[in-house]
Chain A
């Protein structure tokens, strides 16, 4: 079989579907190849999606999108070995439409998104794995998928965090452990009413809680909990480099089980039925770890390009995937107008990204990965903060110590000096 398309998109995740949606909307002939049984079958998120950055790129999409709950409460739990401190932020703006962010289950959402893409006229073939690129005169000219050779003016590699295709195109090398984290997650089913009662939510509201500290045994990473409509997404994210070098030889599944058994977590998921256990690599190397974004006849978008970012307070990837897919499509449209799909023309993709929130975020936060790697954030500070709380709340049999000395004994000159040092680094974020 030999067929020709304007563009072949590899991978039915948010970058690929976003690119296909945008191209098909402009009338281009698009083929999207997805190796799973359906778009979303291989995709995992924490997950929460922020809509503001991508709302206008996909104006017709959000009204009927199968999202879970809008996030009305932002929580962070600082976890020490034997104690913890949880903060909950609730704000009027989080309760007001259009909502800033939603919890999301990707198998559900992507499958629905793929239908919208097909409605726009793109062709989606599932259960089709791309094995290789086809080169003609040094330029990418198509893909090989099993027995099929498929040709197009341009290939958009949206094949996920490992992007074997970008490797084959010479746009990247296999990933370095320091630039990646692994995430594991359970989806735990609970009735909507139980979720709302347990987490203090009004109907339809959701909560996002991040956990930092002991949950990752001092390694770079953290835990997350998102409430879906009638389930909870509970997971851990840990630096691959730190995990594979950890001296105590703690295995990730054991770490996750211990997290679930924490007294702060166990009652939240009590009575729930685990419905699925998933895992995925996450790009966390930031700006410095981005791959080359284009070559002759090829563009790279989404996780494949490294577009995911952890800055501590937020962990984001899906908006960057949707936006990079959108701009990749816009670059292809420009290239088609010119009738030239060489790297020189496709370079407009990077220009567009630089003028958008995508590259601006990556440049602004380029120091975040190595600043946040500081092990003191995961052991020292959680123990310090919770020890102060313990002493403040303690009522001994004898007289209670005055509050100021209670706190001050933890904050001598040496400690404050070290904190100031950490602070100077944090100020780079």
Chain B
């Protein structure tokens, strides 16, 4: 995120259950693919960011499982699965 916002605090309001492994991964060799940069703009949870070298960094914590990065970046770039059953975000309002 280019601005701090209160995004972390906002995500902190949600119920998340930890997963055994990351359910979204950048495919090996695709770390510098320009399509990844789209995720920085579209991810509602701000999980993708550009570092000083202009590379995309990604964390899974706070993932809302919305699917936007899969649509924007595509399956050639991202290995995209849902978390295991009973893991990940559990919406109380939805």
Q: Which of B2-61 contact A (CB under 8 A)?
A: 2-3, 5, 7, 10-11, 13-14, 17, 38, 40-46
Chain B residues contacting A280 (CB-CB under 8 Å) are: 64, 66-67
CB-nearest residue of chain A to B68: A182
Q: Once the chains are docked, how many angstroms separate the CA of A180 from the CA of B83?
A: 22
Instruction: Give the number of residues in B that approach A within 8 Å (Cβ atoms).
Output: 41
Chain A residues contacting B45 (CB-CB under 8 Å) are: 253, 279
Docked-complex contact B93 and A108, CB < 8 angstroms: yes
Q: A51 within 8 Å of B by Cβ?
A: no
- For A238-251 the 0/1 string (1 means CB < 8 A from B) is 00100111100111
Q: A376 within 8 Å of B by Cβ?
A: no
Q: A40 within 8 Å of B by Cβ?
A: yes
Docked-complex contact B3 and A240, CB < 8 angstroms: no
A127 CB contact (under 8 Å) in B46, B64, B86 = B86
Chain B residues contacting A244 (CB-CB under 8 Å) are: 38, 41-42, 72
Docked-complex contact A278 and B68, CB < 8 angstroms: no
Q: A135 within 8 Å of B by Cβ?
A: no
Chain B residues contacting A136 (CB-CB under 8 Å) are: none
- For A180-220 the 0/1 string (1 means CB < 8 A from B) is 10101011000000000000000000000000000000000
Docked-complex contact A162 and B10, CB < 8 angstroms: no
* 12 extra A-B contacts, CB within 8 A, seeds A249-B40, A277-B13: A40-B94, A127-B86, A146-B84, A164-B81, A187-B93, A251-B2, A251-B41, A253-B45, A257-B3, A274-B10, A277-B14, A278-B94
- For A95-114 the 0/1 string (1 means CB < 8 A from B) is 00000000001111010000
Docked-complex contact A246 and B74, CB < 8 angstroms: no
B76 to nearest A CB, angstroms? 9
Q: Once the chains are docked, how many angstroms separate the CA of A44 from the CA of B81?
A: 18
Q: A145 within 8 Å of B by Cβ?
A: yes
Which one of A40, A177, A244 has the greatest number of beta carbons of chain B within 10 Å? Answer: A244
Docked-complex contact B66 and A182, CB < 8 angstroms: yes
CB-nearest residue of chain A to B11: A277
> What are 5 A-B residue pairs whose CB atoms fall within 8 Å in the complex?
A41-B94, A42-B90, A174-B75, A244-B72, A276-B91
Docked-complex contact B91 and A281, CB < 8 angstroms: no
Q: A128 within 8 Å of B by Cβ?
A: yes
A186-B10, A253-B46 as given contacts; A36 in contact with B90, CB under 8 Å: yes
Docked-complex contact A249 and B41, CB < 8 angstroms: yes
A165 to nearest B CB, angstroms? 11
Chain A interface (Cβ < 8 Å from any Cβ of B): 35-38, 40-45, 105-108, 110, 126-129, 145-146, 160-162, 164, 174-177, 180, 182, 184, 186-187, 231, 240, 243-246, 249-254, 256-257, 274-281
Chain B residues contacting A42 (CB-CB under 8 Å) are: 65, 88-91
A249-B41, A277-B14 as given contacts; A40 in contact with B85, CB under 8 Å: no
Q: Once the chains are docked, how many angstroms separate the CA of A181 from the CA of B81?
A: 20
Q: Once the chains are docked, how many angstroms separate the CA of A40 from the CA of B38?
A: 29
Q: Once the chains are docked, how many angstroms separate the CA of A186 from the CA of B40?
A: 20
A211 to nearest B CB, angstroms? 18
A161 CB contact (under 8 Å) in B2, B38, B67 = B67
Docked-complex contact B85 and A129, CB < 8 angstroms: yes
Docked-complex contact A281 and B5, CB < 8 angstroms: no
CB-nearest residue of chain A to B40: A251
A145-B85, A251-B41, A254-B3 as given contacts; A175 in contact with B13, CB under 8 Å: no
Q: Once the chains are docked, how many angstroms separate the CA of A137 from the CA of B68?
A: 35
Chain A residues contacting B91 (CB-CB under 8 Å) are: 36, 40-44, 106-107, 276, 278
Docked-complex contact A277 and B10, CB < 8 angstroms: yes
Q: Once the chains are docked, how many angstroms separate the CA of A252 from the CA of B46?
A: 8
Chain B residues contacting A186 (CB-CB under 8 Å) are: 10
Docked-complex contact B90 and A41, CB < 8 angstroms: yes
Docked-complex contact B2 and A279, CB < 8 angstroms: no
A240-B72, A254-B2, A275-B13 as given contacts; A107 in contact with B93, CB under 8 Å: yes
A35-B82, A35-B85, A252-B42 as given contacts; A279 in contact with B5, CB under 8 Å: no
Q: Once the chains are docked, how many angstroms separate the CA of A176 from the CA of B73?
A: 10
Chain B residues contacting A274 (CB-CB under 8 Å) are: 10, 13
CB-nearest residue of chain B to A162: B67
Q: Once the chains are docked, how many angstroms separate the CA of A160 from the CA of B84?
A: 16
Chain A residues contacting B2 (CB-CB under 8 Å) are: 251, 254
Q: Once the chains are docked, how many angstroms separate the CA of A36 from the CA of B40?
A: 27
Closest 3 CB pairs of A and B: A127-B86, A279-B44, A107-B94
Chain B residues contacting A160 (CB-CB under 8 Å) are: 67
Chain A residues contacting B93 (CB-CB under 8 Å) are: 105-108, 187, 231, 275-276, 278
B44 CB contact (under 8 Å) in A128, A174, A187, A252 = A252
A290 to nearest B CB, angstroms? 16
A127 to nearest B CB, angstroms? 3
Chain B residues contacting A129 (CB-CB under 8 Å) are: 82-85
